[in-house]
Structure formats: structure tokens, C-alpha cells
């Protein structure tokens, strides 16, 4: 009887040792594969031939960590690429007016004609003003990215109407009579008033820069605002890049390429979305704030 017991125990021990050997082999394979995949930019995940539940659970956890590591790597690469593009854009936008200022200052040193001197000074002043606008836009972009938004109940329809009224003089000077369609009832939302004003102003400023003659604005009770204007020559590729930092369309006047980028940043921070598309020679920007707020009491 004792021999049977010892024999059974020996079989169990041998079985456990065999299983332990398999687990150690699987663990070593996991370690090797993990080290390779950690260093490589690959979508391949860890795989095990063993059916041991513990080891497969470990492999699953490690695969989840690999996915997170890959996402962080992609985010880092995207951020690094955006930083390089931003530095390139800033350098270009500053270098161009600085080169012009330097050239006209050299002309001024040798110019004896007062009329030409005044002309050169006017050009220099314009280039300095362009650099001042760029600096201000960079500051606003930095503030938009760092400052928290303070959501408060407001009427989206009224906010849009007030923004349109603030652009009345600019529209009139360009000969543009906006076609406006607003709902008869308030559109309550929880938004940051200053950030919303900035978003709407940047969208309307963009329309003024690129539209030759028209603007159509509509808002639905669901919080979806559309801004349409003629955009001859606008391609789908250019349209897709309108929200990129420092991207400008050649026909734009006094543009830094930051306005719509700031609008997108602020919109998303307030829980909304913004997109652009071109249809039949027209640019359509759609702004959407889906979240309802508490009802606003009528004044």
C-alpha cells in the first residue's frame, strides 16, 4: 500500500515538474518576445502555444501593456511631428517679414527721396504689424491650450446672433449680406462664453478672408451650426487641412493659419465638434454642441 502511495506521489511530482518546465519555457519565450516587440515598431502581439490558463492570462495582460505602449509611442511621434511643423511654420512666418524689413531698412539708409522713404516706411510698418499679429495669435493659441474652460448655461442661438452683429461692419465693407437662419426658441447649452465667442469669431473671420461675396449661416434646435460661403479653387485636400496649425490658403489675406486651429481646440474642450467639407465650390464648416444644459429662463 505504501508503495502505491509513494508511486502516486511520484507521478504527481513528475507531472508538476513537467508543467513547471513548460511554464518556465513559456515565461522565457514571453520575455524574449516582449523584449523584441518593445524595441520594434510592430503591431504583432505576443502569442503562446501553451494552453495553461495562467500563462495565457499573463500573455493577455502583457499584450494590453504593449497596446498602451504603442499608443503612447504613436502619440509621441504625432506630437513630435506637430511640434516640428509648428516650429517650421513659425520660422517661415517670422523670417518672411523680417527679411522684408531688413531689405527696406537698407534701402532707407540710401534713399534721399522723401516720398520713396515714406513708402518704404509704410511697408516696414506693415511687416512689423504682421509679426505682431502672429505673436498675438501664438499667445492666444497657447492660452487656449492651457487655460481651463468654465462651462455656464447660455443660449447658443443668442451667442451666434451677437457674434454676427459684431461682424456687421466688416460684412458691409466687403459687400456681403449674410443669409441667416436661427431657431425661434433658445438653444440652451453649457459652454464657456468667451471660448464660444472666440470660436464663432474665428469661423466668421475665416469666411471674410476667403469668401468673395456671400455667407450663409444656419443653426438648428439640436445645436448644429453651419457656415457656408463660396470658395473657388478650394480642393478637398486643402479643405481637410483647414484646422491644421499654420496651414493657410494662398488667397487668404493677413492669415496666420491659427484661427481655425484654435476654434477646433476650444470646441473640443467644450465637448463639441467642428468639421469642414467642400461641395460644389462652397466651403461648409459645421459646428456641433450636442450636450443640452438646464433650461434658460426667459428674460
> Can you give the residue ranges of every domain in the chain?
74-146, 152-288
Is pLDDT of 27 > 70?
A: no
Is pLDDT of 255 > 60?
A: no
User: What is the pLDDT, as a whole number, of residue 252?
Assistant: 41
Name, in order, each residue with C-beta under 8 angstroms of 187's C-beta and a sequence gap of 6 or more: 155, 156, 157, 219, 221, 223
Is pLDDT of 210 > 90?
A: no
Quote the mean pLDDT of the chain: 76
Is pLDDT of 111 > 70?
A: yes
pLDDT band at 298 (very low <50, low <70, confident <90, very high): very low
Residue 133 CA to residue 272 CA, distance in Å, equals 27
User: What is the pLDDT, as a whole number, of residue 256?
Assistant: 46
Q: CB 237: neighbour CB atoms within 10 A?
A: 8
Q: CB 223: neighbour CB atoms within 10 A?
A: 20
User: What is the pLDDT, as a whole number, of residue 250?
Assistant: 46
- The CATH number assigned to the domain with range 74-146 reads 1.10.287.130
Is pLDDT of 191 > 80?
A: yes
Name, in order, each residue with C-beta under 8 angstroms of 212's C-beta and a sequence gap of 6 or more: 230, 232
Is pLDDT of 163 > 90?
A: yes
Of residues 217, 220, 186, the one with CA closest to residue 203: 217
Name, in order, each residue with C-beta under 8 angstroms of 52's C-beta and a sequence gap of 6 or more: 19, 22, 23, 26
> Do 94 and 131 contact (CB within 8 A), yes or no?
yes
Read off the pLDDT of residues 50-60 as tens digits, 9 standing for 90 and up: 666 776 777 77
Residue 159 CA to residue 165 CA, distance in Å, equals 10
DSSP code of residue 272: -
pLDDT band at 233 (very low <50, low <70, confident <90, very high): confident
User: What is the pLDDT, as a whole number, of residue 101?
Assistant: 83
Strand ranges inside the chain, DSSP E: 152-155, 179-181, 188-191, 216-219, 224-230, 273-279, 282-288
- pTM for the full predicted model: 0.56
Read off the pLDDT of residues 116-151 as tens digits, 9 standing for 90 and up: 888 888 888 888 877 776 676 666 666 655 667 789
Number of H helices, E strands in the chain: 8, 7
Is pLDDT of 34 > 90?
A: no
Is pLDDT of 20 > 60?
A: no
- The CATH number assigned to the domain with range 152-288 reads 3.30.565.10
Amino acid at each position: 500500500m505504501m508503495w502505491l502511495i509513494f508511486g502516486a506521489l511520484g507521478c504527481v511530482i513528475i507531472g508538476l515538474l513537467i508543467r513547471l518546465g513548460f511554464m518556465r519555457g513559456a515565461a522565457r519565450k514571453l520575455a524574449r518576445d516582449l523584449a523584441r516587440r518593445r524595441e520594434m515598431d510592430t503591431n504583432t502581439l505576443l502569442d503562446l502555444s501553451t494552453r495553461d490558463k495562467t500563462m495565457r492570462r499573463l500573455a493577455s495582460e502583457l499584450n494590453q501593456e504593449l497596446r498602451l505602449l504603442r499608443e503612447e509611442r504613436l502619440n509621441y511621434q504625432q506630437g513630435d511631428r506637430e511640434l516640428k511643423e509648428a516650429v517650421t511654420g513659425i520660422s517661415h512666418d517670422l523670417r518672411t517679414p523680417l527679411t522684408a524689413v531688413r531689405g527696406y531698412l537698407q534701402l532707407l539708409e540710401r534713399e534721399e527721396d522723401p516720398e520713396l522713404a515714406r513708402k518704404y516706411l509704410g511697408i516696414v510698418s506693415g511687416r512689423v504689424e504682421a509679426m505682431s499679429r502672429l505673436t498675438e495669435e501664438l499667445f492666444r493659441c497657447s492660452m487656449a491650450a492651457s487655460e481651463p474652460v468654465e462651462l455656464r448655461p447660455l443660449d447658443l442661438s443668442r451667442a451666434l446672433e451677437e457674434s454676427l452683429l459684431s461682424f456687421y461692419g466688416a460684412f458691409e465693407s466687403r459687400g456681403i449680406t449674410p443669409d441667416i437662419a436661427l431657431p425661434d426658441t433658445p438653444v440652451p447649452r453649457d459652454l464657456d462664453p468667451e471660448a464660444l465667442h472666440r470660436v464663432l469669431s474665428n469661423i466668421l473671420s475665416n469666411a471674410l478672408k476667403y469668401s468673395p461675396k456671400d455667407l450663409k449661416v444656419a443653426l438648428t434646435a439640436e445645436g448644429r451650426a453651419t457656415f457656408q460661403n463660396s470658395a473657388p479653387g478650394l480642393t478637398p485636400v486643402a479643405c481637410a487641412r483647414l484646422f491644421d496649425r499654420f496651414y493657410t490658403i494662398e488667397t487668404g489675406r493677413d492669415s496666420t493659419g491659427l484661427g481655425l486651429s484654435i476654434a477646433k481646440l476650444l470646441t473640443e474642450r467644450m465637448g463639441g465638434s467642428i468639421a469642414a467639407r467642400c461641395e460644389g465650390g462652397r466651403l461648409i464648416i459645421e459646428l456641433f454642441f450636442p450636450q443640452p444644459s438646464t433650461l434658460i429662463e426667459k428674460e
